[in-house]
Structure 1
Amino acid sequence: MKQQLMTLLLGATTVLCSCDSQVTQREKNDLRAPAYPLVTIDPYTSAWAFTDNLYDGSVKHWTGKDFPLVGVAKVDGQTYRFMGTEELELRPLAKTSEQGNWTGKYTTRKPADGWQNPEFNDKAWKEGEAAFGTMENEHTAKTQWGEEFIWVRRIIDIPEDLSGKNVYLEYSHDDDVIIYINGIKVVDTGNACKKHVQVKLSEEAVASLKPGENMIAAYCHNRVGNGLLDFGLLVELDDYRYFHQTAEQTSVDVQPMQTYYSFICGPVDLKVTFTAPLFMDNLDLLSRPVNYISYEVVSNDGRKHQVELYFEASPQWALDTPHQKSVADSLTEDGLLFLCTGNRIQDILEKKGDDVRIDWGRFYLAAEKENSMYAIGDGKKLRKSFIENKLEAPSTEGYDKLALVRSLGETKKSEGHLLIGYDDIYSIQYFGENLRPYWNRQDNETIISQFRKAEKEYEAQMKNCAVFDRKMMDEATAAGGRKYAELCALAYRQAIAAHKLVEAPNGDLLFLSKENFSNGSIGTVDITYPSAPLFLLYNPELVKAMMNHIFYYSESGKWTKPFAAHDVGTYPLANGQTYGGDMPVEESGNMLLLTAAIAAVEGNADYARKHWETLTTWADYLVGYGLDPENQLCTDDFAGHFAHNANLSIKAILGIASYGYLAEQLGKKDIADKYTRKAKEMAAEWMKMAHDGDHYRLTFDKPGTWSQKYNLVWDKLIKLQIFPESVAETEIAYYLTKQDKYGLPLDNRETYTKTDWIMWTATLANDKSTFGKFIDPVYLFMNETTDRVPMSDWVFTDTPTQKGFQARSVVGGYFIKMLENKLTK
């Protein structure tokens, strides 16, 4: 199969490269993205712009931590910063738990009024070491906090006068947090969950900080699941900026594989393009850990100008925290200049967790050696020397920056590119065995060979990406309208880059997701389920690779329960489920439905045949327990446990129907008839139990409730014909009466929603116009949200704010409308 995919790609490449240039002309994406994808390789090497202008803030990892990448154009001696900011240099005044050790007084019982004030008597409170949190899930937690509430008081000693200084509070929290400095409220997040937030203190708060003892007091509410509280103070260093003048950004445009920026730098125009050639029909290319940064400079006054482009990268690209020590180096090979950096201590695959970045392997920045200059060292000295027409800097003994300058000479027009990438050496630990990335699965490749291939293919891949982008946008527009297409463009790289591709010891392909900003689980079934439409559309082999580990887990005897596991560990350690609660109906239904979807796309049930015994066990479990689910979690686990879930029951019924569908495909007619008949009987019973007049209930036992029945979409797409079409029609009509400004709530309990489920719900509609009525509010949310992060899928519908989650692969579910077109042609 892999060989067939390679053959197909080679043929496609010839066609793409020979296409007329007009085919690649794009229509601009007008969506103001919450964050713009720049470098998208995998869950660790994933860089975004969180601001409208590329130069308004630091380039960031999807978690929000800085991945400093600075770009400056020097034109006739004048500098214009077009990318990133000079790294905010902060000195800790009171370290967070990740910067050092601190202790505080705490209580989990509501204290008397005035607890936040310095003079409050806290002698009866306990003393604990920060951070405070659920130690089983939060790697920074040193004091167990599993209760619903916590109040913490921390005395800090400030040795200096801070008058006129910029002081920042850094904090991490899960969930609601309120923080006071010397009794002055400085943070009140409401219902939210974030890590490593830095907020500049008001003049009033800074004025209250006197030399000597000061008080930081915080309250946190753990609503469900994980808990975390940590905080500290930092002060900004003086005189570290050299690139004060910025370019003028004139446009930004997100296409599926490329993000285009345009700038004016005085007398020249500059275009910068970030490209990730994520072709899903070429797995070696999909897994190649190299992206492109292209540039084009054109005179806008008809004259020649002396132009240089300066690029500076920080070792934070290869560190979990900026306080770790790094090493840096350079080399040249085959006409390419390489700069690289990495952690001084190489503890490969030693860390796991959610808000964790890679700190093993090496980050690389490369360009043609000709007309390139480079230096490695202190960032401030690098910038100063570039302004002074030289490039040199002393070492910092552990935090050297990488600087690369492209000299374009005196020119009216010039273009070129850089390559940016990462060698993680080993990517995943799979049931005790460390696995190399897919591109080096046979241990016969090097990061240098990958860069060489990327360099050789640059021209062809840029054309191929442009052709793919145009084609995908045309097809998405035809399926769901222009706004739908623009959302899909933003979702494409996000969904893919939240996975890592490896090969298991038994030869299975593994495309393992990371639960970004939910709990960090690896290979989660209820992440695979919503993500799958994108991969079903472009390569069902990748959907199998998102499921193989779950089948192996059961079939190897490592997982012995009669239903599917939730996950196989915490990223990047896939050694067995680490999630605290099972989701029996949810995950079994997901696996059966996706196996049926693969059969529908491929036109055969060969994949199901391989795992028939396991699928039978799961189907029988759903027959016994799926109609009226007991008190348990579903994929929307943030809502907590609850019983009699009508939407979860639909999943169980359609999971049983999927088993019947697969049996039919395999010629097992008696089995097919039995399970299909059972599914129809359960569906008829469901309609009686869930009926609530003009809609169907959230739970069978609660009249007057409602919820999105997004699981129904597979009845339509796979043509299972289990539920009457009137069920979906009734629900769609009802949902249109419940929409808020920014979307359809998930159910009647809260004003939050899941944008991926809205896409599925909208696909139940029988016409494009009605589909668009559900998509428009989601588009409006993404266009107006004040939370500038890679697309969140868990957001409020009445305010433009996220509830939680970001950069998750589940936005692959946006492609379900395009998948419908493929399956129902």
Structure 2
Amino acid sequence: MTAKIFSVLVLLATAFLGSTLGAVTWTATPFNPASVPLAVRSPYLSAWLAQGSGTALNGAWPTFWTGSILGWAGFIKVDGVSFSFLGVPSVPGTTFNKATQKSASFTSTQSKFVLSAGAIDLTVTFLSPVEPHDLSKQSMPFSYMSLSAVSTDGRTHTVQLYSDISAEWVSGDNSLGATWSTATGNTFVHQVQLANQVVYSERNDHIQQGSAYYATSNVAGTTFQTGADVTVRAQFLNNGRLPNTQDTNFRAIQDNWPVFAFAHDLGSVGSTAQSRVIALGHARDPAVQYIIANNGRQDRSLFFFSQFATARDALLSFLGDFNDALTRANAFDAQFNSDASKISSDYASIVALSIRQAFGATEITISKRADGSFNTDDALVFMKEISSDGNTNTVDVIFPAWPILLYTNPVLGKFLLAGLFEYQASGQYPNRWSVHDLGAHYPMAIGHNDGRDEAMPVEESGNMLIMTLSYTQKTGDTSLISTYTSLLDQWTQFLISDSLIPANQISTDDFAGPLANQTNLAIKGIVGIGAMAEISRLLGDTTKASNYSFKEPNRLKFGLKAIATSFVQQWQNLAISSDRRHLTLAYGDSASWGLSYNLFADKLLKLNLFPTSIFQMQTAWYKTVAQPFGVPLDTRHTYTKSDWEIWTAGIMTDQAARDLFISSVRKWASDGLSSAIGDWYETTNGNPEGFRARPVVGGHLALLVL
């Protein structure tokens, strides 16, 4: 998960445009984040409002997670007077005001803005459903925008609404040509795509394949138009409606900026709110290429294609499901908020902002049988390592994100691990430790048959063992541990020989560089060994659990739990500072220390390998080294990681220390500097370090799974 220069430059150059545009002048609930999720459902449907320290919905363009603009504009006319409510469109020859933002709020599935336009309040709700128990619905790369108008002065007013998206939604290169069409009938559906598509190819992290969709119900007063942005927007501003015409002059995205628009004439609006709903998304088929036996390749589709013949059919179903989807979303929000608020209101707000981001990096896929039918028994989940390396199913990115899967639906975690297991069980990966990822470039999961993936041998082997056991404990399903016992055993043998005194290597925090004798990395290896002891017990293999045979010569036979326990005792002699106040970052360096977040796994799995005194020692220590925005990751730098801070909060032995971490992350998330929860930031001033929109924020749910 190397931090790429591109990510840093884009972050610094574009992500914080909103931070210079003003301060918060509206009510923000639960707080004002620096970037608000608008439509976040997949690696390629990822639209945000980067508002910095105070930019309203109509104060900046929505952007892709990279910071590139996604043209998305909105106007409302009230008694003939026009106001903008979304984006920052410029329409020469017309006059319009900016609606005044009154409030902004977010939950785990929704972002809501209320803007005042004359005597009308317009509520704009962006709903990106989280449906972890319905594989078809969760796999749909679609989102909703709901517009609801109500009078605020007790009188009725004529109201018309307008919104559009641009062709910028289909590529990361605006010089490329696009084509489009509009389907009419009971529903109006705009569809736009690149003229020349390249399957499985990205440009500036946008997929160069598939189509963007914008759809609304064809109820009375609804009109549409496609064409140049200034032409279409002027048509509405001048007339309050659109002419139901299509521009067929297909061209480059940046050539007179083609947009795809709807207008809704609500008629007279009084004290009863009137609403319209728009669905949008980006879908493609096939979605992921996956390596199978004998270096074969398998094209995989998004799961919803097992129920719908086309993406458009799925979109129509999605649009028609809005009311029920909203009911389900409200129930999900309420349950989550109830659970998280038992820890603290600060904690509930952090996790609410994290959920869409974490799920937005994942896709649920299925394969086809020989006869061409979809095999719904073969579900695999794929995760993009957004903004760092762009890898597919990176083990040390799945690991910090793991708590969100345990909390919402552990079966999704099983499907995420299954692809890694299947590949390595095929015998094509040559190393004796776990693979780092399934592919260097998403959405290709074509393995590393040369064994030259980014080497994190102790890190990834420990991660796989820990996640596999935690899934088994959570669900009672032993299918992973029974099917892949030999792989789990192989990784355990590696950990026994290499984890107590780790060689010079990188861990998940690879941006900090390699280091020998890492105290925290050794913890992970030891917990991994202990996890295999419990896995053996669950499988009824008492021989292995109590009399483990090594492949290396001249080894005595010990039970796995005894090995792990022995390692803990030896580790304490190596890892504790000379003044006995804290764990070191690396053995023998008493001046060093770091976040010992890997102890969380011992607590999660209930292995009880490490003594309580270690947890108490770390709890006391972190209180003494906290900075204004949190506790540094380690003594090499003053930056930290928000996911590991929350994991570390989970091992604290008193509430004050736990809440120190929670309040620090909350302070950072609301400081007006971060973007799409960047997860890597400076503890001294809250400045971002480079990552953004990564799924590792799923780790913010760590306290909910203990």
- TM (norm. structure 1) is 0.75
Aligned to 1:208: none
What residue is the counterpart of 2:341 in the other structure? 477
Change (3 A) 1:247 1:444: closer
Which of 392, 400, 406 is the aligned partner of 2:264? 406
**Residues 324-355 of structure 1: CA distance to partner in whole angstroms, max 9, x if unpaired?**
1111110024x111111111112222x247x4
From 435, 446, 450, the counterpart of 2:300: 435
Deviation, 1:243, is 6.2
Instruction: Determine whether 1:503 maps to 2:376.
Output: no
1:487 aligns with 2:350: yes
Q: Distance in 2 between matches of 1:447 and 1:241?
A: 38
Give the secondary-structure state (helix, strand or coil) at the position aligned to 1:74: strand
Does 1:288 find its partner at 2:165?
Answer: no
Determine if contact 1:68/1:85 at 8 Å carries over to the other structure. Answer: no
Whether 2:97 is the aligned partner of 1:245: answer yes
Q: CA deviation at 1:359?
A: 2.3
Residue identity opposite 2:344 in structure 1: G
- Specify whether residues 579 and 804 from structure 1 end up closer, same or farther in structure 2 by C-alpha distance, changes over 3 A only: farther
The alignment status of 1:426 with 2:276, answered yes or no, reads no
SS at match of 2:232: helix
What is residue 173 of structure 1 aligned with on the other side? none
Residues in 1 aligned to 2:703 and 2:284: alpha-carbon distance in whole angstroms: 35
- Name the structure 2 match of 1:551: 421
Indicate the residue corresponding to 2:510 in structure 1.
Answer: 637
Corresponding residue for 2:701?
Answer: 815
Name the amino acid aligned to 1:313: I
Q: Secondary structure at the match of 1:415?
A: strand
Structure 2 CA distance for partners of 1:439 and 1:425, relative to 1, 3 Å: same
Measure, in 2, the Cα distance between the counterparts of 1:244 and 1:254.
28
Per-residue deviation, 1:596: 1.0
Aligned partners of 1:436 and 1:443 also within 8 Å? no
Whole-Å separation in 2 of the counterparts to 1:770 and 1:751: 19
Shift of 1:288: 1.6
Q: Could you tell me how far apart the structure 1 residues matched to 2:81 and 2:196 are? A: 40
Distance 1:489 1:443 in 2: 30
2:16 aligns to what?
none
Question: Contact between 1:352 and 1:573, CA under 8 Å: does it hold in 2?
Answer: no
The answer as to 2:625 corresponding to 1:622 is no
Residues 536 and 544 in structure 2, CA contact (< 8 A), matched pair in contact too: yes
User: 8 Å contact 2:28–2:103 — kept in the other structure?
Assistant: no
In structure 1, the residue matched to 2:85 is 82
CA contact (8 A) 2:625 2:631 kept: yes
> Aligned AA for 2:98?
T
C-alpha RMSD of matched pairs (Å): 1.8
Q: Which residue identity is paired with 1:406?
A: H
Q: Which residue of 1 is the match for residue 576 of structure 2?
A: 691
Contact 1:427–1:437, Cα closer than 8 Å, also in 2: yes
Unaligned runs of 5+ in 1: 1-26, 88-238, 821-825
Give 1:63 shift. Answer: 1.0
The 1:652/1:243 distance shift into structure 2, 3 A limit, reads farther
Compared CA separation, residues 593 and 328, structure 1 to 2 (3 A): same
* Residue equivalent to 2:691: 805
Aligned partner of 1:525 in structure 2 is 395
TM-score (norm 2): 0.88
Change (3 A) 1:698 1:243: farther
Find the aligned partners of 2:433 and 2:490 in 1 and give their Cα distance.
7
Judge conservation of contact 1:759–1:813 (CA < 8 Å) in 2: yes
Query: What letter is aligned with 1:356?
Result: D
Taking the aligned partners of 1:786 and 1:707, their CA distance within structure 2 comes to: 24
Gap regions ≥5 residues in structure 2: 1-26, 292-296, 369-374, 547-558
Change (3 A) 1:813 1:314: same
3-state SS of 1:803 partner: coil
Within the alignment, does 1:62 sit opposite 2:65 as a pair?
yes
- Residue 381 of structure 1 deviates from its aligned partner by 0.9
> Which residue type is aligned with residue 407 of structure 1?
D
Contact preservation (8 Å) 2:242, 2:262? no
**What's the CA shift for 1:443?**
7.9
Note the C-alpha offset of 1:663.
Answer: 0.9
Check conservation: 1:81, 1:243, Cα contact below 8 A.
Answer: no
Q: Verify: 1:765 aligned to 2:652, yes or no.
A: yes
Structural mapping, 1:223-622, within 5 Å: 240=92, 242=94, 244-333=96-185, 335-349=186-200, 351-352=201-202, 355-370=204-219, 371-389=221-239, 390-391=241-242, 397-398=250-251, 399=253, 400-412=258-270, 413-431=273-291, 432-440=297-305, 442=306, 444-478=308-342, 480-504=343-367, 507-569=377-439, 570-577=441-448, 580-622=453-495
TM superposition shift of 1:504: 4.6
Percentage of identical aligned residues? 29
CA contact (8 A) 2:677 2:693 kept: yes
* Offset, 1:672: 2.1
DSSP-derived class of the 1:418 partner = strand
Residue 424 of structure 1, CA deviation: 1.1
Partner of 2:20: none
Residues 624-666 of structure 1: CA deviation (Å, up to 9, x unaligned) = 1111110111100001111101100000000000000111111
2:410 partner letter: P
Q: Distance in 2 between matches of 1:482 and 1:55?
A: 29
Tell me if structure 1 keeps the 8 A contact 2:102–2:115: yes
Residue-by-residue CA offset, 1:452-501 (whole Å, 9 max, x unaligned): 322332211111111210111111010x2001100100000000011111
> For the structure 1 residues 444 and 450, does the alpha-carbon distance in structure 2 shift closer, same or farther, using more than 3 Å as the test?
closer
Instruction: Give the aligned residue type for 1:804.
Output: G
Q: Tell me which amino acid in the other structure corresponds to 1:780.
A: K
Tell me, in whole angstroms, the C-alpha distance in 1 between the residues paired with 2:420 and 2:191: 37
Task: Quickly say closer, same or farther: Cα 1:307–1:655, change in 2 above 3 A.
Answer: same
Tell me how far 1:509 sits from its aligned partner: 2.4
Please tell me the residue identity of whatever aligns with 1:639.
Answer: A
CA distance in structure 1 between the aligned counterparts of 2:464 and 2:140, rounded to whole angstroms: 29
Whole-angstrom distance in 2 between the partners of 1:579 and 1:449: 42
Return the alpha-carbon distance in structure 2 between the equivalents of residues 73 and 534 of structure 1. 38
- Supply the distance in 2 between the matched residues of 1:653 and 1:77 (Cα, whole angstroms): 70
Take 1:292 and 1:300, find their aligned partners in 2: how far apart are those partners? 25
Give the conservation status (yes or no) of the 8 Å contact 1:698–1:706. yes
- What's the offset of the Cα at 1:772? 1.0
Deviations along 1:385-441, whole A, 9 cap, x unmatched? 21210535866641421111111112213112111122212211112222111111x
Contact 1:515-1:522 at 8 Å conserved across structures? yes
Counterpart for residue 90 of structure 1: none
Q: Which range moves more in the overlay, 551-560 or 641-650?
A: 551-560
Q: Please report how far the alpha carbon of residue 289 of structure 1 lies from its aligned counterpart in structure 2 after TM superposition.
A: 2.3
2:199 partner amino acid: I
Could you say what secondary structure the match of 2:84 adopts? strand
1:152 corresponding residue in structure 2: none
Residue identity in the other structure for 1:545: F
For 1:654 and 1:607, locate their aligned partners in 2 and report how far apart those are by CA, in whole Å.
18
Secondary structure of residue in 2 paired with 1:589:
helix
**How many pairs does the alignment contain?**
637
Q: Is the 8 A contact 1:596 1:658 kept in 2?
A: yes
Instruction: Give the secondary-structure state (helix, strand or coil) at the position aligned to 2:191.
Output: strand
3-state secondary structure, aligned to 2:521: helix
**Structure 1 counterpart of 2:593, from 684, 706, 728:** 706
Secondary structure of the corresponding residue to residue 266 of structure 2: strand
> Helix, strand or coil for the counterpart of 2:364?
strand
Which AA in structure 2 matches 1:378? Answer: A
C-alpha distance in structure 2 between counterparts of 1:417 and 1:660, whole Å: 53
- Following TM superposition, by how much is the alpha carbon of 1:321 offset from its aligned partner in structure 2, in angstroms? 1.4
SS class of match (2:207)? coil
